[in-house]
Amino acid sequence: MSSIKSSFVAKDFARRVKQRRKTLMLPMTQLAKKLGVSEPEYNQIESGDRPPSRKLLTQISIELRTSEKWLIEGGY
Q: Is 74 left (phi over 0), alpha (psi -120 to 50) or beta?
A: left
pLDDT tens-digit map of 30-61: 999 999 999 999 999 999 999 899 999 999 99
> Cα dihedral sign for 30, 32, 18, 65?
negative
Quick one: pLDDT band at residue 8, thresholds 50, 70, 90? low
* pLDDT beyond 70 at 2: no
* pLDDT beyond 70 at 74: yes
Mean pLDDT of the chain: 90
What is the structure's pLDDT at 1? 38
- Residue-wise burial string across 29-59, b where 16 or more C-beta atoms lie within 10 A, e elsewhere: eebbeebebeeeebebbbebeeebeeebbeb
Could you give all domains of the chain from N- to C-terminal order, each with its CATH number? Answer: 2-73 (1.10.260.40)
